[in-house]
Structure 1
């Protein structure tokens, strides 16, 4: 698939197909002298583009373009053929042709509109001084049985993707596949995510085609600097790659981000041996029962986060052979998460003092609020509306108010729950779904506030943190 043109959300070949199809519609209304040249040129562009798309793969958004062109093409070509009597080529009267032309133009236009609504995501260019590398590791905890399976010998396994500061890759280096190590894995994960919300898979067929800015297995940045570590847990049913734009931005500023897949909770986890583990967690519809289930799932995630931090510490010390050995500053660690992952981050911080800071991306706190948090915490929340769970803000405030460190709750106007992940990059820009900050604004706000907090808490950089945060929304400081 050729590169997507930023802002248009179509590839150059797709754009040529759209222009060729419109050219056939418009040709009928041109002066007689120009009509043949435009018809032949537009037809040639359309046919050649359709052939190329057939080879590289046709997105569903292009189907109305090709369908509209298929309807108008016979009429356009017929109008070029002279009658046997030698009289001028036949053309329908304008009042008969106008409704057909308008209808075909509308069908063709539906293609670019659909590509805009469900695009191949275009990731923002990381703004930091480092290039970004990425790699995937898989670790099994020998001390924890897998609670989702009946096999007593089955041990808990997690898949972790690392984004880290890297050396600049050569021009033309292949960028990392989004959602997986391969296109096949990306397709498996994408299909599972879509099924989880009850949508037909073809709507987001552009997502597995996307590539981010990181390079798989790029050499670690020169200089010997040790990088603070940020662990990330995705939302319920979410996957390790759901915050790729955020992770790449942090890595470009000198952090190593370790994002987890939680087997049997994440929509689909593809293991190193090729097996795929599907999600088994599901809401029952009963609030009390769902709250109880969420407490258990959050506890498993919190244990996963602690285990991964142990493995990263072993990796840094050389007990696990890895290019990042000696480059991870596991004495400066933040634990973060989105939605249920944010709740898991809060619980992990309560249980493990190795975590130095917490970021909760619009996560409702599940489980006990004791012991009190001893780490500075940043909770980013969507705009609070009458439709918001009335328990959310009081519950979150209770957790932060009992903290023994200065913590913050930042409510971002125009944000929705999916603002805090990559969703705005590939979902329709419906405010109730992804917020109203836009495809460029959403990742910028979430990354900028996260970086300001991490720079202050992990790196001790001086500055007015409350002032920086309050520039993005309504800030409450705790306790």
Structure 2
């Protein structure tokens, strides 16, 4: 359990003991020996506990710094017990070693703070949350990312839904159904970002607030459905906190993995498909490719909506048969997924609403469409991305319904995902809203919009949305 600074009690004990061991050499003679003994005992005990529970990579520098100091302390004790004189290094020789050990310990503490294991917020709705993963193949579409004509387009979909409460139910892993899948996804995402594979180890070990394959909430009513497409190279779980919050409020969220685009997709036959998305450095070519990926994603969203309808009718077996209201469906997405949601809605009138989370529109032939849109945008600075907001506004004005563009102050592109929960809190990366405010604002604003668009909830939606940022009503 994390108690302070992203550290468990055992880790915090190891950190404190390591500092005591390193600094003991500089204490007055009367306190030096007692401090060294106390630090050594506490450090050894904490190290044993961590060895049993598992040592996070962030704690390796802490243990290295403390272990180095412990080695010198033990050497002095052994010489004293053997009746041999103990020679202390001169201060100008000891100072660099002390500084190096403290630097190691500090580096570990900072890494633990910057890259903690994500703690998912407790959903605030009336329902517990269940989750399940399905895989569907579209017999009408050939996989365009491979050269094999026999390959059909396959997507992996994770569903979050209102469930019956069971305090004893185990919680789902964050990044995958199994420890192996979670680790593969974490390494794939790190690699996509150009980072070492171990950087996201804590995210791979995290558990969410939902229960795998939990019984659906009783009552017999049908739930509105919210389809979600992640960002470029993203994975279906990238907005789990948001999905769990909506599910607790009575929605079914279906998030897609797009094979050959998402960083890593694990299929039921054991195959692992890694992304083939790559920038060329040529802006024109990259825009052309982005438009192609967006079109594939838009088709994926429509296909999944069809499959959810078949699931509801019992043509596909599943937990949610008879519980899905396909007539109240929203297309949503983050970044490129937001662009795909806009395009899917323009092409498929079955979608009743759209949410674009900071996605640049990529539709090559934009035309009028009938659904209302909520577009969340990061805090765009003057001179930054000059074409983004005009293009987005142009797209929203094509809607024949009232639409909303909401800019969240202090936000960045990843604010609208789970990233603030476990990535370094750097404003340029995840915004300046802290660990939990970004996911909370994203969930609250989108839930208010969905309640109005899919459930017809009365009230002043514009006034509600204005409470979360700078609102433009179109």
Aligned partner of 2:432 among 436, 439, 445: 436
Q: CA deviation at 1:306?
A: 0.5
The answer to whether residue 367 in structure 2 is matched with residue 376 in structure 1 is no
- Who is 1:148 aligned against? 145
Matched residue SS, 1:232: strand
How far did 1:30 drift?
A: 5.3
Task: Indicate if the aligned counterparts of 1:230 and 1:256 stay in contact, CA closer than 8 A.
Answer: yes
Structure 1 counterpart SS, 2:455: coil
Match of residue 254 from structure 1: 250
- List gaps (5 residues or longer) in structure 2: none
Residue 272 and residue 84 in structure 1: after superposition, are their counterparts in 2 closer, same or farther (change >3 A)? closer
In structure 2, relative to structure 1, the CA distance for the partners of 1:75 and 1:336 (3 Å cut) is same
Q: Deviations over 1:143-184 (max 9, x none)?
A: 11111122222111100000111112233x321111111111
Correspondent of 1:225 among 202, 206, 221: 221
CA contact (8 A) 1:130 1:252 kept: yes
Question: CA RMSD of the aligned region, Å?
Answer: 2.1
TM-score normalised by length of structure 2 = 0.94
Q: Which residue of 2 aligns with 1:245?
A: 241
Residues 3, 9 of structure 2: 8 Å contact kept = no
Please point out which of 40, 65, 70 is paired with 1:73. Answer: 70
**What's the CA shift for 1:443?**
0.6
Q: 1:53 Cα shift?
A: 3.0
Distance 2:80 2:57 in 1: 38
State which drifts further: 158-167 or 50-59: 50-59
Using the TM superposition, name which of 278-287 and 48-57 deviates more: 48-57
- Alignment correspondent of 1:12: 9
Structure 1 position 13, deviation (Å): 2.6
Quote the Cα distance in structure 1 between the aligned partners of 2:21 and 2:81: 24
Asked if the contact 1:345–1:358 (Cα under 8 Å) also holds between the matched residues in 2, the reply is: yes
- Greater mean alpha carbon deviation, residues 110-119 or residues 8-17: 8-17
Q: Which residue of 1 aligns with 2:127?
A: 130
Secondary structure of 1:467 counterpart: helix
> Does structure 2 conserve the Cα–Cα contact (< 8 Å) formed by 1:163 and 1:257?
yes
- Could you say which residue in structure 2 is the equivalent of 1:424? 420
How do 1:392-411 residues align onto structure 2 when only pairs under 5 Å count?
Answer: 392-411=388-407
Rounded to whole Å, the distance in 1 between the matches of 2:81 and 2:438 is 63
Do the aligned partners of 1:187 and 1:208 also contact (CA within 8 Å) in 2?
Answer: yes
2-structure distance, mates of 1:419, 1:345? 19
Q: Distance in 1 between matches of 2:370 and 2:33?
A: 76
Q: 2:191 aligns with which of 187, 192, 195?
A: 195
Aligned residues: 474
Could you tell me which residue of structure 2 aligns to residue 165 of structure 1? 162
- For 1:253-292, what per-residue CA distance to the aligned partner results, in whole angstroms no more than 9, with x for missing partners? 1111000001111111100111011111222111111111
| Residues 36, 80 of structure 1: 8 Å contact kept | no
Distance 1:392 1:201 in 2: 32
Distance of aligned partners of 1:380 and 1:291 in 2 relative to their CA distance in 1, 3 Å threshold: same
Identify the range of structure 1 (8-17 vs 279-288) with the bigger mean alpha-carbon deviation. Answer: 8-17
CA offset at residue 129 of structure 1?
1.7
Q: 1:139, CA displacement in angstroms? A: 0.5
Shift of the 82–155 alpha-carbon distance from structure 1 to 2, 3 Å rule, reads closer
Q: Deviations over 1:305-364 (max 9, x none)?
A: 001011111111111111111111212111100000000000100111111110000000
Q: Using the alignment, how far apart are the partners of 2:284 and 2:182 within structure 1?
A: 35
Q: TM-score, normalised by structure 1?
A: 0.93
- In the TM superposition, what whole-angstrom CA distance separates every residue of 1:4-56 from its partner, at most 9, and x where no partner exists? x1652123332222122123234445566665554334323322332343344
Query: Residue 337 of structure 1 aligns to a residue in which SS?
Result: strand
Does 1:215 pair with 2:211? yes
